[in-house]
Structure formats: structure tokens, C-alpha cells
Amino acid sequence: MKWKLLFIPLILAAIAAMSGVVMWLWNAVMPGIFSGAQSIDYWHAMGLLILCRILFGGFRGRHGHHHDGHSHRERWARWQAMTPEERAQFHKDRGIFCRPKAEEKTE
């Protein structure tokens, strides 16, 4: 619990620092390259950082967004090691997430 409480301020501090870096880089580079580019303030830099996150999906870490720590090869090896009964149980357990419930089906 202690680590979780410390994690939130660290994330906020990292966002604040990255926004400052974006502001500094923009103001140092962009007006010199493009004659119409203006300097931006801190809040515009934070907005630009968030916009880039939305558009390009950055800040995911080194493994990507939906990575569970296992490589595709390891997952395939586990699948190959399953018996037909284990595979059927796997499909039964996981299938409820992909199929509509019986009362939601329309005919």
C-alpha cells in the first residue's frame, strides 16, 4: 500500500518533468525551423504531450500495452503441451468473454 501511495506522486512528477522538456525542446527548435511557429508555455506543452500520447500511444514501456510477460513462443509451447481436454476447458472458460449471454441473443 505504501508503494502505491508513492507511485502516484512519482507519475505526476514524471508528467510535469516531461512537459517541461517538451516545452523547452519546442521553444528551442520549432521557431528556428518554421518561421510561423511560436513559443509555447508549460500548459500548452503538457497538452501537446497528452495529444501525442493519444495519437501515437507512447509511454507504454518496453513490452507494449497488452503484454503479460510471456513471449509468443512460450504461449505456443504451453498450448502445445495441453491435452485436448485442457484445451476444451480453456475454450469454455475464455469463451464467455467473446460470446453474448444467452438472454442477450437476438433471433
Q: Which three cell numbers stand for residue 86?
A: 485442457
pLDDT tens readout for residues 9-28: 888 898 899 999 999 988 89
Q: What is the pLDDT of residue 102?
A: 58
Cα torsion angle, 23, 28, 33, 39, sign: positive
Q: What is the pLDDT of residue 65?
A: 47
Q: Is 23 exposed, middle or buried (0-12, 13-18, 19+ CB in 10 A)?
A: buried
Q: What is the pLDDT of residue 17?
A: 92
Locate the DSSP E strands across the chain: none
| pLDDT tens, residue order, the chain (107 aa) | 677 788 888 888 988 999 999 999 888 988 888 888 888 899 999 888 888 888 887 655 554 445 555 678 888 888 888 888 888 888 888 766 666 665 555 55
